[in-house]
Amino acid sequence: MSAAKSIQGNAPTRTGRIGSILPGLSPAAFYLLLYVYLAREVDLRLLYNGGGLIDNFPTFYLDWGFLKGQLALPAGLVKYLCAFLAQSFYYSWAGAAVVTGQAWLLGLGTDAYLRQIGAPRLRILRFVGPLVLLAMYSQYVFYFTQTMAFTLAVLAACLFLRFAPQGAVRRGLCFGVLSLALYTALGAPSLLFAFLCAGAVGANDYSPVRQRYREALWYGLSAAVVPYLVGVLAWGLPALEAYVELLPISLGTRANEPSELMLKALWVLYLFLPVTVGAVGLWNLTFGRRRPSPQRVPPPADGPWTKRAAPKGRNFQVQNPKSQTNPNDQKGRKFQTRPAGVLAMIVLAVATAATLYVYHDPGLKALFAVDYYSREGLWSQVLDTARRCGPHYLICHDVNRALYHTGRLGDQMFSYYQDPQALLLSGKEALWQKADTCTELGLLNEAEGALSNSLGMFGEKPLLLQRLARIYLAKGEVETAGVYLRALSKVPFWRRQAVAVLTQLQNDPNLTRMEEIQHLRAVRLKQDFVRPADVLRILLGENPQNRMAYEYSMAWFLLTKDLAGFARMFNTYHNAVETRIPRHYEEAILLCQATNRGTVELGGRSVSQESVNRFESFTRALEPFGRNLAAARQALGRSFGDTYYYYFVFRDLGAR
């Protein structure tokens, strides 16, 4: 009997109605808010796109060969299932629905298990799993397979405890078969199934101790043996791996190793139920026998599992007196009584707030979002997001790209955080992010190298396949491009695009009508060399119309404060690509003149009066500080922080 019905029957008052609605409302509200948070705030499509930061997001092909290959792997079934479900992350709303569904199942399983072990008062713990999921997705890590394996193990334990046969031998056999099947499907997380079953049997205090312990021992023994039988003997895994596959201990999921904080969250997920059952067992052992049990069911001759009166069939469950519904005692049933329900809601709200406080990281989201927006060419979103977040090497790179594409690189680049090494990502290995910029510049080989290595690191991600196909098309290696496109055509959501290009290739092998490819062929670096060289200058030498190479060259000179180089580049190429003088160039020209570091030939052009006035204001404002540049940096930041001369003067002091 449900609590709501019980209250409706007994007290059809207004407070009673509210009381009956509240218990159902609060979990519903929790899951609804979880969904909204995942879909809107976390934006799960950012995980699908990965940002070159997630190396364990699964590849999925709509292909029998892929299915067979996955099923041949240890724990292949759950890996395949999760790879399939993970494709829903392509759309944030769909991914959020899948994760919320998983959270709900996790809560449901935990709730059922807590009732099975006779701890309905601890039902608030059913939100631990969903909160851990909340923490994980807030941190943009992908432990979907691990958490799904956990969820399925908990559900399996509940179903076993609920529906297992009555006879001890048959139940034991059933357990053995289920253990084998679960290990094959889930890997080591199935150990949790055995542990939870053993715990449930051991924690209950209604059957003889020896009988309970014998059964629990059998479960524990099977947990020890099954991984060896399946993992070591059948799959040929190393012994340790057979016992930890897909458990948090085996994690190595991101290019950057998962943080301690994240691992702790995963451990909480895996350990809270075993710890709870242990505590309950200990409690029962210590206090259980002293307390009279009003509805104690005498243990049947063949064990603690008794057949329920109705309905017929698959109706076996642990008959735990504490889990029996007593119409007069509503404590422990959902958020039954108002004080308990309200308290539980408060606890849940506090726990949720605490989780978000610890794990929610807007900076991390910005990193993923900027990468995604730049990959999609959503330049205004790149700039908006970057404006709201702190300095970051990769974001800086994408900001410059966005500024270039919106024609503002020479005007606004110093309105954002700048790092010379971020311009072409030459300071750190950031292969994923490097590829698009190199492609656009015409450095197709460098882009190909970055993408190929990313393929080795991150697996066959559709984005990488698509980018590699584009590079090979631009290089005229049509057969190689075809291999990538045909592979891409098996990936959900990418098929149409891949088939369209393949069809176009059949009709027009040179892709003469494909503007993007023709452009890439035009800007492609033609000179072959293997030694360090100034590639931007060479690109411009080969094609003075390569606007991106010019703007990036100029940006490089500005960032490295090489005014002489800036002047040379301006004098040689500016007229070929530009009709006006961007603001930062004007500021650099004024600096050239002021410092005598290079002669800029303006031809018929001139620096705008506004720039001249502002530069004069800056020099006047700087003068009083003398050599106290630190103080000057702080004082002038507000008025001149977005100017090149501010960067030029204060860069070495850490100016952003």
- Closest approach of Cβ 243 to another protein, in Å? 14
Nearer Cβ to another protein (460/642): 460
| Cα separation, 301 vs 622, whole angstroms | 94
Nearest one of 616, 557, 625, 622 to 590, comparing CA atoms: 616
Q: From the centroid of its chain, how far is CA 381?
A: 20
CB burial readout 145-165, b (16+ within 10 A) else e = bbbbbbbbbbbbbbebbbebb
- Using the rule CB under 8 A, is 475 a contact of another protein? yes
**CA distances from residue 418 to 124, 387, 392, 519 in whole angstroms, order as listed:** 48, 12, 9, 29
- Residue 330 touching another protein (CB under 8 A): no
Using the rule CB under 8 A, which residue among 25, 389, 455, 612 binds another protein?
455
Q: Does 310 bind another protein (CB under 8 A)?
A: no
Of the candidate spans 99-107, 122-130, 356-364, 523-531, the one that interacts with another protein by CB under 8 A turns out to be 523-531
Greatest alpha-carbon pair distance for the chain in Å reads: 106
Helix locations, 545-643, DSSP H: 547-559, 563-577, 583-595, 609-622, 629-640
Nearer to another protein, 103 or 423 (CB): 423
Pair 544, 573: CB distance under 8 Å = yes
- Collapsed DSSP state (helix, strand, coil) of residue 318: strand
For residue 61, give both structure tokens. 């092909």
Binding to another protein (CB under 8 A): which residues in 529-558?
A: 529-536, 552, 556
Determine the number of helices (DSSP H) and then strands (DSSP E) in the chain. 31, 2
Structure tokens at 462: 């559709």
Stretch that binds another protein, among 91-99, 155-163, 283-291, 442-450 (CB under 8 A): 442-450
Q: Any contact of residue 398 with another protein (CB under 8 A)?
A: no
Q: Name 5's Cβ contacts closer than 8 Å, sequence gap at least 6.
A: none
Shortest reach from residue 429's CB to another protein, in Å: 9
Q: Which stretch binds another protein (CB under 8 A): 18-26, 127-135, 140-148, 476-484?
A: 476-484
Length of the chain, in residues: 656
Establish if 57 lies at the interface with another protein (CB under 8 A).
no
In whole angstroms, give the CA distance from residue 187 to residue 242: 8
* Residue choice 256, 292, 512, 528 for contact with another protein (CB under 8 A): 528
Residue 387 identity (one-letter amino acid): R
Q: Which of 394, 424, 581, 589 binds another protein (CB under 8 A)?
A: 424
Work out whether 238 is an interface residue with another protein (CB under 8 A). yes
Q: Which is nearer to another protein, 216 or 498 (CB)?
A: 498
Q: Where do runs of H (alpha helix) occur along 87-127?
A: 92-116
Q: Least Å distance between CB 184 and another protein?
A: 17
Check binding of 525 to another protein (CB under 8 A).
yes
Contact mark string toward another protein, 65..94, x via CB under 8 A: x-----------------------------
What whole-number distance in Å separates Cα of residue 592 and Cα of residue 558? 11
Closer residue to another protein, CB minimum distance, 201 or 563 = 563
- Binding-site size, another protein (CB under 8 A): 55
Among 236, 311, 603, 654, binds another protein (CB under 8 A): 236
Tell whether residue 491 is a contact of another protein (CB under 8 A).
no
Neighbouring C-beta atoms of residue 594, cutoff 10 Å? 12
Segment lying near another protein (by CB under 8 A), choices 87-95, 219-227, 345-353, 483-491: 483-491
- List residues binding another protein (CB under 8 A): 55, 65, 232, 236-238, 313, 423-424, 426-427, 431, 438, 443, 445-446, 448-449, 452-460, 465, 472, 475, 477, 479-480, 482-484, 486-487, 489-490, 524-536, 552, 556
